[in-house]
Amino acid sequence: MNNILHGLAKSMLLALIIFGISFSLMAEDGHHTPDTTKKKFDAGKMIMEHIADAHEWHIATIGHTHISLPLPVILIDNGSFHVFMSSKFHHGLEAYKDFRLMTEGAYKGKIVKIETLADGTESISPDLPLDFSITKNVAAIFFSVFLMIWIFMSVAGAYKKNAGHAPKGMQSFLEPIIIFVRDDIAKSSIGEKNYEKYLPYLLTVFFFIFLNNLLGLVPFLPGGANVTGNIAVTLVLALFTFAITTFSGNKAYWLHIFNAPGVPWWLKLPIPLLPIVELLGIFTKPFVLMIRLFANMAAGHIIILAFMSLIFIFGNMHEGIGLAVSPISLAFSIFMGLLELLVAFLQAFVFTLLSAIYFGLATEEHH
């Protein structure tokens, strides 16, 4: 265990040093110019750019040069398809054909269509093109899904090949986690009778969240995407849990919601207070799942980036102050990074456990 902790600490230290170097390169703009022309470091803008989705995978910024991996842009406009790479936008400074990736204003981060008016001026069309682009988060999801398929297909093949032998390698790492999800989450929350049909979903959602949480802590390709800190992703995961719970609900489950036995009649009529509260609970449960995962993962990334930003905020005041603050900021960033490793597992565990509890409540038989 000590060797594992030391290894994790060294890996996180190396990752954060690389992260710090990339940040310092990004802050080089205007470093050798007088204070009157020096470009100030905008911590809020930098943090939001790093946790937000994008049409390119940013790697580093050296001076005025942006190093990034362009991603496919797929648009449908008036029934016609437009497919090209995001590098055509030149980081939003120029339009490609009639389309432009906005970097400011109400349409920031969106691709809009530019119309030329009769007087020769340009205007944004109110009808936005349908955007099916492979953004950074989408690319990260594809990568994590293919990685999960490869890992589990390899482990399944190893079990068939080495049947009757003790697991080794990736098998020995995954088997305790799978047994933990099966016994301590699915079986204990849903019950012996019904847990098996929900186990594939619970295992999938657990490893999907856990893997993307870990990849989000890696500051370079193929990590660095804020997948589980994106509310659209957590919304879809919560909707899956909501749909499975709703369609799995038995007679006893719906009876307890709309006509709970043992409840005084005056709580049901003339205004059905308790059924209204229970009905609202059906929708608040997945909402809580969505917000909890999104808020915790996004907050963790923001805190680490905020600690790293302190170096450049104080460096703008004076280089000596920035150098003095950097060891403290780096120490807190390493601590938060190690804490995020624990949070990565805990958030996957909590989401899976609550989903299993909801399934158990929906399938519990009347006693």
Contact predicate 307/183, CB 8 Å: no
Sequence-separated (6 or more) residues with CB below 8 Å from residue 317: none
pTM score, two decimals? 0.81
Residue 58 included in any domain: no
pLDDT digits (tens, 9 = 90+) for 118-166: 777 778 888 888 889 999 999 999 999 999 999 999 988 888 887 777 7
Structure letter (DSSP) for residue 228: T
Pairing of strands 72-77, 111-116: unpaired
Domain shared by 79 and 166, yes or no: no
pLDDT digits (tens, 9 = 90+) for 153-195: 998 888 888 777 777 888 888 999 999 999 999 999 998 888 9
Domain shared by 305 and 327, yes or no: yes
Domain shared by 78 and 222, yes or no: no
Domain shared by 180 and 262, yes or no: yes
Domain shared by 104 and 208, yes or no: no
Q: Which domain holds residue 83?
A: 72-131
Residue 14 included in any domain: no
Domain shared by 115 and 211, yes or no: no
Domain shared by 323 and 359, yes or no: yes
pLDDT digits (tens, 9 = 90+) for 326-355: 888 888 888 888 888 899 999 999 999 999
